[in-house]
Structure 1
């Protein structure tokens, strides 16, 4: 009889708000995992975080963490402009990383990550936790088995509200630090789940605008999307919507499936409507659904540990993350160039490979330079 595996040892880089969600998820998975150390430039904040989550060791930079701890995984919970250099540092140290969205600020950066991953053999994963909720996993299985028929139409809405004061934090609302507005930082979870269910997108036609907020980036974007399987969808991302909701609706040949929530769903947030003559699918839908768990970091982190134990590739890998990030880049390129953008079109030296803004934001001062 084999002895039980020692706990997974993880580190957390960055101890701001989102790191608390990671730490709470990790604590809920104990004793399967232990937080070996945390990193933050602000020692007082790091100490407070370590005390709250019962972590013994605090470091002021990532190099100290990697030099002193044997880690199975490191969680990168820092502002977006630091994601790529920290993930590269982790790969060079031989430690897989789980990076908060967005993985990188541009397609060029994510391609740089892919090159280092190929060189080192160490994976970079992205937090797209909504893929891992029970209902989403069940829907994906039914769709891939063909039980719901052809995917036809979808709507994907991230209608959120952020007041002007939200952008008082220096790194928010800037192309050079966040990479974009709600398309990059808020709606990306929703349309990532859309693609996980409906498959690869093939072309996009979009608009983006700065309606109200004191930002360099957009505060609203809207896109029409065609998929490789000829399904069609609308994708809306907003930070100016007082009635907040996150909504996805999938219309298949034999059923409509819809979820409405805000920052995380349970199985009870989903509605299933079979087409006439396919009422038996309602019974199939009701199978294997829990009712209480909220989709969140815990689901994805647990799935990562499962994969690592089985010697399998954990998700969400760089290839899939790039497809989602490419959609964000294509949304901006289509909006700012006023043209339809096809998947795979943004390559090489294209301005929207180097920066999500492409250097041609319509509302930017003329003096803006490409970042």
Structure 2
């Protein structure tokens, strides 16, 4: 069985997914669409598929699924169009630049009962599953998540209304791991260092304190003023266990000694493969994050952003 799929969004992330999908023997990448015709044509030529002028025409191409790889501000009407068409979809994180749109999208998906997947590719790393196993049944006391890097070049990223800010657009990956490894967060208190860059209202830095439903506490910090990526990961302190996890490494220390590992899985490849397998009739693997589950992480990211913006304590919606 060959799955016919389309792709909306020919930017860097969309191009990565297009190359991956085009490399699967059981997938035909039918066409790509992008508001910038030159970008769509360049990507289509690179992967050997057609170009469609808009998403509506793309969805009429006889697709089994579509990949949505657009900036945060472009979500909402796009997903509603796909849901009306009854086509399963993969959507890159974050679900939206704000909370209201993400809630609307998740509600529409739930009502339609469509299969979905999202771009939380860290969940597919074997090192994440190993960390989860090590911490299973052990009370977590403290978590520390961070995303320290530079300001990405796209103009939309620097505007909070377009990107949602660094916590929503980037640190959502590590906040997802906070939930996976330490459980749900009940409330957040935060502060922000205002932007010092012309044209950017995304804060220079954010620091927040998390109170988990379990009683554990944690912190999350972000900064976009550095010359390059410095740190992105999570540390966990549990009874007798210390875990340090990034996208490329795992370090576990116990009373019996220390173990280190690097992922044997390419999460960026695995996240696409997993959804293709589901579309082909397979059972969803543990690492697959659908829109409903992604909404829980998005709510946490929104709460951190809102707490930092207001300097108050914010309850995580749904907690």
TM norm structure 2: 0.90
Gaps of at least 5 residues in structure 1 are 1-5, 347-371
Match of 1:225 in 2: 210
Match of 1:182 in 2: 166
- 3-state SS of paired residue (2:70): coil
Match of 1:73 in 2: 65
- 3-state SS of paired residue (2:66): strand
- Greater C-alpha radius of gyration: 1
Contact 2:125 2:264 in 1 (8 A): no
Contact 2:126 2:264 in 1 (8 A): no
Match of 1:342 among 304, 307, 315: 315
8 and 290 in structure 1: CA distance in 2 versus 1, 3 angstrom threshold: farther
Match of 1:210 in 2: 194
Matches within 5 A, 1:1-371: 6-28=1-23, 30-55=24-49, 57-67=50-60, 69-144=61-136, 146=137, 149-162=138-151, 166=153, 169-178=154-163, 180-214=164-198, 215-242=200-227, 244-260=230-246, 264-265=247-248, 269-274=249-254, 276=255, 278=256, 291-296=263-268, 298-310=269-281, 312-313=283-284, 315-344=288-317
338 and 245 in structure 1: CA distance in 2 versus 1, 3 angstrom threshold: closer
Q: 1:304-344: per-residue Cα shift (whole Å, max 9, x none)?
A: 23333445457312332122111222123322333212223
Pairs aligned (count): 315
143 and 295 in structure 1: CA distance in 2 versus 1, 3 angstrom threshold: same
Contact 2:190 2:206 in 1 (8 A): yes
CA distance in 1, matches of 2:318, 2:126: 34
TM-aligned CA deviation for residue 224 of structure 1: 0.7
Match of 1:351 in 2: none
CA distance in 2, matches of 1:84, 1:313: 25
- 3-state SS of paired residue (2:299): helix
Contact 1:186 1:237 in 2 (8 A): no
TM-aligned CA deviation for residue 49 of structure 1: 0.6
Higher relative contact order (CA closer than 8 Å, sequence separation 6+): 2
Contact 1:206 1:331 in 2 (8 A): yes
Contact 2:4 2:63 in 1 (8 A): yes
18 and 94 in structure 1: CA distance in 2 versus 1, 3 angstrom threshold: same
- 3-state SS of paired residue (2:226): strand
- 3-state SS of paired residue (1:320): helix
Moved over 6 A (4+): none
211 and 330 in structure 1: CA distance in 2 versus 1, 3 angstrom threshold: same
TM-aligned CA deviation for residue 73 of structure 1: 2.1
Contact 1:83 1:99 in 2 (8 A): no
Gaps of at least 5 residues in structure 2 are none
- 3-state SS of paired residue (1:241): coil
CA distance in 2, matches of 1:80, 1:136: 26
CA distance in 2, matches of 1:345, 1:19: 31
